[in-house]
Amino acid sequence: MVQDSSSLPAPNRADLTAADRPALIGPLDTIQVDVFNVPDLSRELQVDAGGRIAMPLVGSLDARGKTADELARSIEQALRGRYVRNPEVTINIKSSVSQVVTVDGQVVEPGLYPVTNQMTLMRAIASAKGMSEFARQDDVVILRTVEGRKMAGLYNMAAIRRGAYDDPPIYANDVIVVGDSPQRRLFKDLVSLAPLLAAPLIAVVQ
C-alpha cells in the first residue's frame, strides 16, 4: 500500500494532458498567436473542447498537451509551405481554464482554484481562504493520478509550518481534502504505527 519514496512522485506528461500543467495548453484555454510581419495572421484564439485551434493558411491543429513554444513551431511548419517565408510565431497563453486543483473539506471556501508553476499545498489552502476554525491540521490528503494509478499523500500542516518537511508542490488535477474523508481513513492503521512527524505518508489507492 505504501510507496517506498517519502514523497508523492510528480505526474508524468501523460498524466497531465487531461487538464495540463501551466506550461501546457488545454481545451478552452485562450491563446494569443503572433506571426512576425504578418499582422493578418496574428490573433487571439480559444482552444476548442477537443483541444484544437483553427487558423487561416494553417487549418486545424491539435494544441492540447503542447507547450506554447511547441505549438508555435507546429504553426511555423504549417505556414512554411503556404506562402510565408521563414515564419516566426510566438504564442502566449492568455487565460487557462484547464489548470485547476480541487480544494475540499474543512476550508473556508471549497472549490476549484487555478494552478501556477509555484503552487504548493499551503498556497492551495490559502487560495481557499485557509482552513476552517476547527479543521484538523494533521488530516490533509492530496489525491493524484500518477501513470494511471490513483495515489494519496497524508500531510500535517503544522509539521510543514514548523519546517519538519517541505511544503509539497501541487499539480493540475490534484484533489486536496482537509479533514476526515474516506481517503484519510486509508491511513488510520498506518498513522497509529508511524506518527506523522518526519515525513508525509504515501499510499496507492488502487
pLDDT in tens, 75-112: 999 998 777 889 999 999 888 777 788 999 999 999 98
DSSP 41: G
Domain boundaries defined on the chain:
30-95, 99-204
Give the closest residue to 57 by CA, choosing from 24, 33, 28: 33
Per the confidence metrics, is the pTM higher than 0.75? no
Measured over all CA atoms, what is the biggest interatomic distance in the chain, rounded to whole angstroms? 69
Q: What is the pLDDT of residue 20?
A: 41
138, 119, 205, 158: CA torsion to nearest 10: -10
Q: What is the CATH number of domain 30-95?
A: 3.30.1950.10
pLDDT in tens, 104-135: 999 999 998 888 777 899 999 999 999 988 88
pLDDT at 173 over 90: no
Confidence tier at 192 by pLDDT (50, 70, 90): low
- CA 163 to CA 41: how far, in whole Å? 51
pLDDT in tens, 35-89: 998 899 999 999 998 899 999 888 999 998 888 999 999 999 999 877 788 999 9
Give the closest residue to 154 by CA, choosing from 189, 126, 113, 118: 189
Q: What is the CATH number of domain 99-204?
A: 3.10.560.10
Bridge partners (DSSP) listed for residue 131: 107
| Residues 6 or more apart whose Cβ sits within 8 Å of residue 43 | 32, 33, 55
Number of Cα atoms under 13 Å in the Cβ half of residue 13: 7
The total of other beta-carbon atoms located within 10 Å of residue 198's CB is 10
